[in-house]
Amino acid sequence: MAKKPNTEQHTSVPIVSSSHLVSPRSAEMSEFEFGLIVAGNAFHRWIIHCMSAAGLKDLTPLDVLVLHHVSHRARDKRLSDICFIMNVEDTHLINYSLKKLQALGVVASRKSGKEVTYSSTALGNDYVQRYREIREGCLINALKADESLNRDIGELARLLRVLSGVYDQAARSAASL
C-alpha cells in the first residue's frame, strides 16, 4: 500500500546564519541579513572573476568597484566623493585602491590647487568596456529578465537603499551607546 504524501502545512523555519540574532519581532530581518551576506559574497566573487576575464587580475572587490565608480559618467572624482557615493567610511581603503589602480595605469590623478581628482585612463576605459561586454554575455543573458523580473529587481534595489539608511542610522545609534 502506497503511503499518502504529507500535505500538512509545516511552519517555515527562517534560513539564517546566526539563530541567536533572530528576533520574534522580525525573523525576516535575519533572513534578509543572511541573504545579503550570501549575495554580497557571490557578487564580490562575480566582479573579481568578470574583471579578471576582462584582463585585470588580482584586484579586490573594492578595487573593481572603485574603478567602475571613477569611470562613471567620465567625470573627475574626489576621494571624499568616491567614499560618500560608495558609503565607505574609511578613506584609507579607497585611497589604497586608487593608488593600486594608478600603478596599473587604469586611473590617473590630477591636482587642481589643493584638490586631487581621479579619472579613468583610456586603458581603464578599455577594461571597463570589456567588463561590460562580459557582464552582458555571462550575467545579463543568464538572467533572462522579462519586464516583471526587471520591475522586481528595481523594487529590490529601492528596498536595499531604504535598508542601507536604516542600517546607517542604527550604526550611529550604536556608536553613541
pLDDT tens per residue, range 99-136? 999 999 999 999 989 999 999 999 999 999 999 999 99
pLDDT of residue 124: 98
Q: Using one digit for the tens of pLDDT, what is the confidence trace for 80-106?
A: 999 999 999 999 999 999 999 999 999
Taking the C-alpha atoms of residue 109 and residue 111, their distance in angstroms, rounded to an integer, is 7
Q: Are 83 and 94 in contact (CB under 8 A)?
A: yes
Q: Residues 8-28: what's their mean pLDDT?
A: 79
Please check the confidence at residue 137 and state whether its pLDDT lies above 90.
Answer: yes
Q: Are 128 and 136 in contact (CB under 8 A)?
A: no
Average of per-residue pLDDT values in the chain: 93
Taking the C-alpha atoms of residue 152 and residue 34, their distance in angstroms, rounded to an integer, is 20
pLDDT band at residue 169 under the 50/70/90 scheme: very high
What is the 8-class DSSP label of residue 24?
Answer: T
Give percent of the chain above pLDDT 70: 94
Coil, helix or strand at residue 100: helix
pLDDT of residue 10: 47
What cell numbers appear for 149 in the block? Answer: 523580473
pLDDT of residue 143: 94
Q: How many other C-beta atoms are found inside a 10 Å radius of the C-beta of residue 98?
A: 22
